[in-house]
Structure 1
């Protein structure tokens, strides 16, 4: 389809040449939408996002079948840093902030990684603070001394500083209180509505992910098991029972 921006076609992944992590996963992400990738711990969600960013080689992993394309180009032909400059920006599980730097310094690092100039950095900070006012209040605080919710907001904000076209978000609800999770997802929805940012979010918390997504894919044991409109999947008893939206563990 002409509006497809990120495409996963029958993707299989192995680590160390022998450990199968994904086997035949397919997913279409269309420009300007929020798509959800659902699954339990160890289902393969993180592996799929890393494959899209071409981060697997650093962990002795590789795509062994199928293909992932970003704007029609095979993702394995582009380095991870070049992907960011082209607009495919991952926000990895665990936030991964520089704990000794301030919130604002962490935000600026996202812009520097994308090669942006000082004027763009200033505009980027203004935008991030408009979506996350709490970060503006804590901008001079060391990241390691802020709350888990503030750190997650800062990780998302750092990604925004790179001017993404597509956000790959890995478990943004992990370890956070329900009210904070709701606040973060409401902000992601606002970003999608107001800026057109395309988002692929991997989540165990199906309740919040399906509330904000247009469509979703459920994966289990490295395979696509269910695909459909998010509103339809949210009504299914098997989805609600399997992924009740509780606290998270690494994917």
Structure 2
């Protein structure tokens, strides 16, 4: 976690404790650098769509890094987030990347099985929202720059820090990572006969309120204006040096 920074995982942002299984579990299926942190906070702020964050991120530098090699602690965390992050109307959201799910499969297969059974109980009951970006070049540039710099959030930026120089190799790696992870989701949908709702980052950025309504309708819940909750603000990362990447690739970006 980032010292002194509110990321959204803190107890102060919990919903009132929920007893039992969520009534409406749903999965925000995406890949890194789709603007998923911004989108998840937009949906969360409604107070009616759960708080779809990376609760299964047990990377040592992630929100629950202390549980990286401790399956029992991972199980406890999962039980706790179900109780603390289910909104009062019974909605629980989970944001997931294929690479994180693969990590969990290697480290704690029983937990992954439990999670999948709850999140995708059957084709007619599954609620999966896939977040994508239309501008593939901008997506890959953002991914490549994060891979090179290790900076994934605005709060990680430091004064005087130089932006990463253009790297065709890093850009190509990012493209492959995006393709392979989106293909993993596609294969999951086919195998489980799931039809996801596709949400485009650019559309959410332009009309966030419409995206909230779209997701609520898909999940099957009613939005209540008085249910809105305060969530941490998401600031856009520095775009310093980005134009040089687009120039090197012969594109304009977004």
TM-score in same-fold range (> 0.5): no
TM-score relative to the length of structure 1: 0.32
Q: Which of structures 1 and 2 has the bigger CA Rg?
A: 2
Higher helix share: 2
Higher strand share: 1
TM-score relative to the length of structure 2: 0.32
